[in-house]
Amino acid sequence: MFDINQRFYRYSEYLTRKFGSKVQKISVNTGLSCPNLDGTRSFGGCIYCNNEGFVPSYSNKITPIPDQIDQGIIFFERKRQYQYLAYYQSYTNTHTSPENLRNLLMQSVNHPKIVGIVVSTRPDCVSPEIISVLKEVHQIKPLMVEFGMESSLDRTLKLLNRGHSYEQLCSAVERSAQAGLDVGVHVILGLPGELRDEIIGHARAISKLPVSIVKIHQLQIVKRTKLAKLYREDPNYVQLIGWEDYVEICCDFLEILRSDIAVDRFASQTKPELLEVPYWDGVKNHHITHLVQNRMVERQSYQGKHWE
């Protein structure tokens, strides 16, 4: 159970419990693609996707992974972080053969300052052989796997051109957890066509799964995406949520979310030059976290209050 005064279970607390002290993620780029972009599943990609939006400047796919980690450590040691997780973040990091995946992961595992691995992927890219490799690496250093879930509604997944169903997400989460891995899911609040009750319903769906971590994002419309085009053609295509309403939605979401699921974040920030809308008047991720906590205090509430 988390400290009730904090109102929700923070990812930083989860990591401290797991690793004994503060840890910092370092993004590494494998150069792997995504089946939803390279034609394995589709060429179009998810309608909101522009990978330029989340590749950090120190991560470069032509740099060997151990060098990317060293560059990340130099960047973060200014902030006095001494334990690191290798974060396989961009695109789909299990979209390769089991042999190549093992090779890519072992390059981080063998780095002396890496204490654990986080692998981000899609629910349709975890065959039994891939899960065996993840499990094998996990036996050397803790490995957490993150899936892009985005929504628990198949109609939304279809509209987003995700190329997988909610059932596939459930199966991937169950099989990963059965292999002993801690599992995280990413969800986007405010997707086109979703009503408020449906948005909150994602918390109920997540809480029924063996999930340890949730990463929450607001819907951002990023330039040079299909969604940006749809929005420009018809601004009513998306019901944009202001930050004040978004804070309330996050509180409602937390009240349903199981209390042992750590919350990685409530919002993300696309690079300003890539953001089409919403601007949120300069309100940043850490402001949203404080606002949610303060609002939960005002509501005399806490994570899991309404979870059965």
Q: Which residues bind ligand SF4 (CB under 6 A)?
A: 34, 36-37, 45-46, 49, 51, 91-92, 122, 148
Nearer to ligand SF4, 121 or 303 (CB): 121
Pairing relationship of beta strands 262-265 and 213-218 according to DSSP bridges: parallel
Supply the minimum distance, in Å, between the C-beta of residue 144 and ligand SF4. Answer: 18
d(CA 94, CA 49): 18
Nearer to ligand SF4, 36 or 218 (CB): 36
Supply the minimum distance, in Å, between the C-beta of residue 50 and ligand SF4. Answer: 8
Supply the minimum distance, in Å, between the C-beta of residue 39 and ligand SF4. Answer: 12
What b/e sequence results for 209-239 when a residue is b if at least 16 CB atoms lie within 10 Å of its CB, and e otherwise? bebbbbbbbbbbbbbebbbbebbeeeeeebe
Supply the minimum distance, in Å, between the C-beta of residue 123 and ligand SF4. Answer: 10
How many CB atoms within 10 Å of residue 28?
Answer: 32
Supply the minimum distance, in Å, between the C-beta of residue 230 and ligand SF4. Answer: 16
Nearest to 68 by CA among 119, 116, 104, 23: 104
Give φ, ψ of 186 to 5 degrees. Answer: -100, 135
Question: Where would I find the beta strands (DSSP E) of 102-204?
Answer: 114-121, 143-150, 182-189
Supply the minimum distance, in Å, between the C-beta of residue 264 and ligand SF4. Answer: 17
E strand or H helix at 102: helix 98-109
Nearer to ligand SF4, 24 or 120 (CB): 120
For residue 116, give both structure tokens: 């654990």
Nearer to ligand SF4, 93 or 108 (CB): 93
Instruction: Find the helix packing angle between 196-207 and 243-256, rounded to 10°.
Output: 40
Nearer to ligand SF4, 270 or 301 (CB): 270
Nearer to ligand SF4, 49 or 114 (CB): 49
SS3 206: helix
Nearer to ligand SF4, 92 or 293 (CB): 92
d(CA 48, CA 191): 10
Supply the minimum distance, in Å, between the C-beta of residue 121 and ligand SF4. Answer: 9
- The size of the chain, in residues, is 308
Supply the minimum distance, in Å, between the C-beta of residue 153 and ligand SF4. Answer: 17
Nearer to ligand SF4, 32 or 283 (CB): 32
E strand or H helix at 15: helix 11-19
